Amino acid sequence: MEALAVLKIECASELEEALTYYLQESYALAGLESRRRSDFEIASQRHDSTFVDLTKIENLPEDLELTAYLPVDVDQAQVCAQLQAKIRELAGYGLATGKVRVYFEAQALTNWETTWQENYPVINFSRHLAFVPVWQTYQPAYPDQAVIKLNSGLGFGTGEHLTTQLALLAMERYLTRPVKLADVGTGSGILAIAAAKMGQTDILATDISSQAIESARENATLNQLTTIRFQQGNLLEGVSEKFDLICANILAEILQEFSENLASYLTENGVAILSGIETRAYPALDEKLQKLGFKVKLHLNEERWHCLVVGR
């Protein structure tokens, strides 16, 4: 396997969503990790019995630290300049940038397979579903738990994993019968693949990124699923079908845009599962959905992430 260049970005956590999106869209990421000081602080409060001394955690980020893994031959100076420009642009939108550092580590990562294996453990997140990296062996506690195999290089951080899990919980609530289903911003294809594993046969999955579509197709093949229709495109633009269930696990800012046309893609009793909403972004989206005539049917919240099921 080839080596990977390791890019570090330190800045205010307000930039996390925008930078995550920018990195995923702009570069051929092999992976992305996010560490936030607040997560460690929450963890330290959570375990009263095992007091965590924050001053003793190795490389505790000042606020947010993103680590992106890029092809080793990437033009490092250009990437750093582009990111600095992007951060200045975000500051222009009124976002706090904090103390900004953008740099590549001097040493490329050569043992990245091991690193992935540490960063992407089995995610045994629900009685009936688990995600298992393809290199892992996993014995479910129950024979009827569906195991979804995933390849590495998902480009997902821990936070995004949680939004995926909430979206899947909501799907379990709503997929009690076969429906016409769309997965918008499918990324590595997780939601579409899980839906197919749960017996859905009419699935359209879209993503603006051709790399994502390619990765999603690979993951579908890995799970012996051949019926999902993967299609490159922005949200559901140009799609003339209507859906009983639309899942969109994407940035809240994009959900804001998507919600404007959402009704036109839903069947009369159709519902949409909207995930990837950070606490900070939730009130504005909730207000917008209400103005558009949507009712929140189910609201899931875990840590700083929210998932809404909305219908009319």
Annotated binding site: 164, 185, 207, 249
The smaller minimum CB distance to a second copy, of residues 28 and 283, is found at: 283
Is 199 a residue that touches a second copy (CB under 8 A)? yes
Provide the CA 64 distance to its chain's centre, in angstroms: 17
Task: State the number of binding residues for a second copy (CB under 8 A).
Answer: 38
Secondary structure (DSSP) of 268-297: EEEEEEEEEEEGGGHHHHHHHHHHTT-EEE
Q: Can you read off the two tokens belonging to residue 281? A: 């972004």
Among 178, 229, 232, 241, which residue interacts with a second copy (rule: CB under 8 A)? 178
Q: Can you read off the two tokens belonging to residue 148? A: 């979804």
Among all chains, which residue has been given the structure tokens 């959900």?
255
Is 217 a residue that touches a second copy (CB under 8 A)? no
User: Least distance (Å) from a second copy to the CB of residue 145?
Assistant: 8
User: Least distance (Å) from a second copy to the CB of residue 198?
Assistant: 5
User: By the 8 A CB rule, do 74 and 5 touch?
Assistant: yes
The smaller minimum CB distance to a second copy, of residues 52 and 95, is found at: 52
Type of residue found at 292: L
Element (H, E) at 124: strand 123-126
Half-sphere exposure of 310 (CA within 13 A, CB side): 23
The contact mask relative to a second copy for 55-94 (x = CB under 8 A, - = no) is: ----------------------------------------
Is 53 a residue that touches a second copy (CB under 8 A)? no
Among residues 182, 225, 220, the alpha carbon closest in space to that of 203 is found at: 182
Distance CA 89, CA 283 (A): 24
The smaller minimum CB distance to a second copy, of residues 213 and 245, is found at: 245
Q: Which residues pair with 308 in a beta bridge?
A: 274, 299
Among 33, 172, 202, 214, which residue interacts with a second copy (rule: CB under 8 A)? 172
Is 173 a residue that touches a second copy (CB under 8 A)? yes
In the complex, the residues that contact a second copy under the rule CB under 8 A are 42, 45-49, 124-128, 130, 141-142, 144-145, 165, 169, 171-173, 175-178, 198-199, 268, 293, 295, 297-302, 311-312
